[in-house]
A and B are shown apart, each in its own frame.
Chain A
Amino acid sequence: MINIKHVVLIFCLLTLTASVFAAKATKSDAEESIQSAQQLWDKSIAVGHEWNTVKPLVAQAKQAMETNDFAAAVALANRAAEQAELSLVQAEHEKTNWVNNLPK
């Protein structure tokens, strides 16, 4: 006897398992993400174009890591890395673009 309730139940179970697994990120994923964010951030400091939005994101990522919320840690570290990368693009672009800013 397969009734609709069974179908619903199985569907529910599958969805729940999927959502749990989708959010699963391991400790080493988080460590890796934070490390690569850190490297890009260091580069942006070295070229003198550090954004002040990166530091808090890295700090939050580390904090999420401490509470074992690895998914959040990865997401935050990725945002930090993305912004640090953008600041490097900005630094490269301004190597020539700055001249356009001179008074005319």
Chain B
Amino acid sequence: MKSLLNTLTVVVMLAVVSIANATPEQDKESFQRFYTERFPDITMEDFGNGVYALDQDARNQWEAMNDFPPYEDDLEKGGELFNTAFANGKNYASCFENGGGNIRQNYPMFDTKRNTVITLELAINECRVANGEKLLPYKKGELAKIAAYMTSTSEGSPINIVIPNNGKALAAYQAGKQYYYSKRGQLNFSCSNCHIQNVGRKARSETLSPALGHTSHFPVYRMKWESFGTLQRRFDSCNKQVRAEPLEGQSEDYRNLEYFLTYMSNGLPVNGPASRK
């Protein structure tokens, strides 16, 4: 009897450990399956529309608003900025593969030489510095506009985040995963408390959006902001709402979180930039 109990304990422990240490591929499958089983009528692609995939009334309003997208001017400005040469005569295109076009779906990527996660925004700023230009503030402003323009050139391309099979990359992924599922702030919420366990339910009159597809359309033009904001600016809002202090833009924790969360949406088409309430 005792040995049976021992075996059982070991099996349970192994099960717990294996969930915590599942491969990224296994994680992604169970993550996506959770949503497709919970919302069998929603297509994979439509998850990229967030709340509007779940709430028809909200969708109607949103679609009406998008007859004249509120971000048009800022997106155009982003294109101009992207195509403006630096003082040294070079430009953004010179820093990126494929001249910076149709690459959004590959970010964030893990740089195996520097052993760190490189987001698109970080890459844009590094491009500037490499060409003798000053850093732009992360999260909003010109950088968000440039990123929005670059995202627009990836419209429809499936998200394709790669996690190289090396210890450092897996550790970065794992750190992002742990951040996502950890409760934080005085209110003691984890990201998953709202976007997994209570997805589709309402906090006040706001529907809690699915995490699947959360990253497919950033930078987002939020009516509340009246401007583009990057994914990390959105992380700030979530943190504040649970009374946790937001982190610095492009801090290691935020980059790892972005890496994990974007990988969870692998396969979904890029559909940004997008507008939100």
Where the two chains meet, the residues of A that have a C-beta atom closer than 8 Å to any C-beta of B are: 45, 48-55, 83, 86-87, 90, 94, 97-99, 101-104
Chain B: minimal CB distance from A99 (Å): 5
Does B243 lie within 8 Å of A98, measured CB to CB? Answer: no
Name the contact of A99 in the complex, choosing from B16, B240, B243 (C-beta under 8 A).
Answer: B16
Q: Which 4 A-B pairs have the closest CB atoms?
A: A101-B181, A50-B245, A103-B34, A94-B182
Where the two chains meet, the residues of B that have a C-beta atom closer than 8 Å to any C-beta of A are: 16, 19-20, 30-31, 34, 178-179, 181-186, 188, 190, 192-193, 196-197, 239-240, 243-247, 253
Chain A: minimal CB distance from B159 (Å): 19
Does A103 lie within 8 Å of B186, measured CB to CB? Answer: no
Q: Once the chains are docked, how many angstroms separate the CA of A83 from the CA of B186?
A: 8
Q: Once the chains are docked, how many angstroms separate the CA of A47 from the CA of B183?
A: 13
Chain B: minimal CB distance from A39 (Å): 17
Residue of A with least CB distance to B20 = A99
Q: Once the chains are docked, how many angstroms separate the CA of A89 from the CA of B184?
A: 11
Does A51 lie within 8 Å of B30, measured CB to CB? Answer: no
Are A50 and B181 CB-contacts (below 8 A) given A99-B16, A102-B19? Answer: no
Does A51 lie within 8 Å of B178, measured CB to CB? Answer: no
Q: Once the chains are docked, how many angstroms separate the CA of A34 from the CA of B184?
A: 24
Q: Could you say which residues of chain B place their CB within 8 Å of the CB of A102?
A: 19-20, 30, 181, 192
Q: Could you say which residues of chain B place their CB within 8 Å of the CB of A97?
A: 182-183
Chain B: minimal CB distance from A50 (Å): 4
Are A103 and B192 CB-contacts (below 8 A) given A52-B245, A98-B178? Answer: yes
Name the contact of B253 in the complex, choosing from A48, A86, A94 (C-beta under 8 A).
Answer: A48
Q: Please name 30 pairs of A and B residues whose Cβ atoms are closer than 8 Å in the assembled complex, sorted by A.
A: A45-B245, A48-B184, A48-B247, A49-B244, A50-B245, A51-B185, A52-B240, A52-B243, A53-B243, A54-B245, A55-B245, A86-B186, A87-B186, A90-B184, A90-B188, A94-B182, A94-B183, A97-B183, A98-B178, A98-B181, A98-B183, A99-B16, A99-B19, A99-B181, A101-B182, A101-B192, A101-B197, A102-B30, A102-B181, A103-B192
Chain B: minimal CB distance from A43 (Å): 13
Does A52 lie within 8 Å of B183, measured CB to CB? Answer: no
Q: Once the chains are docked, how many angstroms separate the CA of A86 from the CA of B188?
A: 11
Residue of A with least CB distance to B187 = A51
